[in-house]
């Protein structure tokens, strides 16, 4: 190649690089030709236009912290005059309330709800669902930092803890059906007509796994752990309600697919999230515990003395005390004078005086004792109480009629499951649950 041709090509290449650099510089200039204030004002206008653009406003399922709490649906209808209409499913009050909002400028653009409304219920420090959240409330916020838009959704992060909140366009049905979320809540809690035991079952199309499932209504949070030896997967998730089911966060991941929306089936009380290729996850009922323990054997004859005590002040509200157990205790209390209530139900095994259930009362009423013998159903892993006698500590007495319905649950001829639990309630005492093998009766006790 001749020298002059080489120079010709080199000159062309340099010219192309120069023009490219000019273009890049132009792009950079366009990107940075605004001052920070101008860029923030542009974002402010962008957010303001977006908030006003949806005919029926916006919907957000706000998971304030999905490691301990569930999701709370909020509906917003913004107006140009700085007011917002808002409704939520935080509690039974799903009415619409008006308050004020501002799009504020700071280091970034934020949407701030400046006067009190439903969203503030999640940020009040003196309003907390469990003792662990004392002085923290529901970990929510009322100032949302603007992070742009994606697929028609407005993306925010809470100023308090950086939790992402996504606004999706609401519909007329979202407003009309918000109260149905609270109807669905009762389906998640579970009817007394349903079994006490639940499981989460997942399948990737070929392999099925089972997990226990425990739901706390006060926190809208569920814990689910594998029941299979050597398979240590757990799914702990916040739960939000919808008119047709639930939404969970974090997602239940099965076969590489993330499942978040579970649809309710009223026929069997199940909730199912369906993916593709046979992938699905189902929360459903079981007529017996997923794992039958041998814990009942520790209470049979010839074992050391054991005392299990239900203490009303601490254990009436325990998540593991069933609605049926509470209703039977309430029925007993309703028959007594106002100052007398069941304060404890203590069950003594292998004491110097034998086996007996002590019904202890407040208000000076003497305890009553139901004496029994024990036997075991090793196939179903239950313990059976067989009636011996009743006494008041001084003499034998007839069976007290006002205790019959509650007492009959302990003397179920099909037996009781006794399970040592891993959790604690208020004190460091070991927790045991006593559960009927045929009804929805379950009472929570301390080992004393």
pLDDT tens digits, 64-120? 999 999 999 999 999 999 999 999 999 999 999 999 999 999 889 999 999 999 999
- High-pLDDT (> 90) share of the chain, %: 82
pLDDT score at 319? 83
pLDDT tens-digit readout, 395-428:
999 999 999 999 999 999 999 999 999 889 999 9
Distance in angstroms between the alpha carbons of the first and the last residue of the chain = 99
Structure tokens given for 36: 């920070």
Q: Which residues of 363-386 are buried (b: 16+ CB within 10 A; e: fewer)?
A: eebeebbbbbebebeeeebbbbbe
For 191, residues 6+ apart whose C-beta sits below 8 A from its C-beta are 269
pLDDT of residue 191: 79
Which of 252, 149, 225, 189 has its CA nearest to residue 421? 225
Query: How many angstroms separate the CA atoms of 194 and 440, rounded?
Result: 8
Fold of 181-286: Lipocalin (2.40.128)
The whole-model pTM stands at 0.76
What letter does residue 37 receive in the DSSP assignment?
H
Looking at the chain, which residues constitute the CATH 2.40.128 domain(s)? 42-177, 181-286
Higher pLDDT: 154 or 291? It is 154
CA-nearest of 368, 394, 383 to 436 is: 383
CA dihedral angle for residue 385, residue 387, residue 391, residue 395, rounded to 10 degrees: -140
Q: What is the pLDDT of residues 332-386, one digit of tens each?
A: 999 999 999 999 999 999 999 999 999 999 999 999 999 999 999 999 999 999 9
Measure the CA–CA gap between 14 and 382, rounded to whole angstroms: 88
Which alpha helices (H) appear in 79-131, and where do they start and end? none
C-alpha dihedral sign at 409, 411, 413, 415: positive
The domain 42-177: what is its CATH number?
A: 2.40.128
Taking the C-alpha atoms of residue 177 and residue 242, their distance in angstroms, rounded to an integer, is: 9
- How far apart, in whole angstroms, are the C-alpha atoms of residue 395 and residue 369? 10
CA distance 366 to 394: 11
Instruction: Please give the C-alpha separations between residue 129 and each of 113, 143, 190, 342, 399, in angstroms, as whole numbers.
Output: 23, 22, 20, 26, 40
8-state DSSP, 48? H
Q: Are 383 and 418 in contact (CB under 8 A)?
A: yes
Determine the pLDDT at residue 32: 55
Cβ-count burial 139-149 (b if 16+ within 10 Å, e if not) = bbbbbbbbbee
């Amino acid at each position: 190649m001749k020298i002059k041709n080489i120079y010709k090509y080199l000159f062309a290449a340099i010219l192309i690089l120069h023009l490219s650099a000019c273009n890049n510089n132009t792009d950079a200039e366009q990107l940075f030709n605004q001052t920070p204030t101008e860029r923030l004002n542009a974002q402010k206008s962008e957010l303001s236009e977006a908030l006003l653009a949806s005919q029926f406003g916006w919907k957000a399922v706000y998971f304030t912290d999905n490691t301990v709490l569930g999701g709370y649906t909020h509906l917003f209808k913004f107006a140009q005059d700085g007011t917002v209409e808002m409704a939520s499913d935080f509690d039974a009050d799903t009415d619409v309330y008006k308050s004020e909002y501002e799009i504020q400028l700071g280091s970034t653009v934020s949407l701030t709800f400046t006067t009190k409304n439903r969203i503030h219920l999640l940020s009040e420090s003196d309003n907390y669902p469990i003792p662990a959240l004392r002085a923290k409330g529901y970990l929510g916020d009322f100032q949302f930092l603007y992070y742009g838009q994606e697929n028609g959704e407005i993306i925010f992060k809470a100023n308090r803890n950086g939790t992402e909140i996504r606004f999706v366009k609401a519909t007329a049905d979202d407003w009309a059906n918000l109260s149905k979320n609270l109807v669905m809540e009762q389906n998640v809690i579970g009817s007394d007509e349903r079994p006490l035991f639940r499981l989460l079952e997942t399948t990737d199309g070929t392999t099925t796994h089972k997990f226990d499932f425990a739901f706390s209504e006060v926190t809208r949070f569920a814990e689910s752990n594998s029941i299979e030896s050597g398979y240590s997967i757990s799914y702990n998730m916040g739960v939000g309600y919808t008119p047709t089911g639930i939404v969970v966060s974090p997602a239940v991941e099965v076969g590489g697919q993330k499942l978040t929306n579970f649809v309710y089936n009223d026929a069997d009380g199940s909730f199912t999230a369906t993916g593709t290729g046979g992938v699905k996850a189902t929360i459903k009922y079981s007529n017996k515990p997923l794992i039958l323990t041998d814990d009942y054997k520790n209470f049979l004859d010839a074992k050391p003395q054991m005392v299990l005590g239900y203490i009303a002040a601490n254990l009436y509200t325990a998540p593991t005390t069933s609605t049926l157990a509470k209703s039977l205790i309430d029925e007993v209390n309703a028959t007594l004078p106002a100052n007398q209530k069941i304060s404890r139900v203590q069950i003594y095994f292998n004491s110097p005086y034998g086996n007996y259930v002590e019904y202890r009362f407040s208000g000076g009423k003497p305890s009553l004792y139901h004496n029994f013998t024990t036997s075991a159903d090793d196939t179903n892993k239950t313990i059976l109480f067989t009636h011996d006698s009743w006494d008041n500590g001084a003499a034998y007495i007839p069976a007290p009629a006002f205790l019959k319905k509650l007492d009959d649950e302990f003397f179920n001829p099909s037996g009781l499951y006794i399970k040592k639990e891993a959790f604690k309630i208020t004190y460091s005492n070991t927790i045991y649950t006593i559960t009927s093998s045929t009804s929805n009766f379950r009472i929570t006790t301390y080992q004393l």
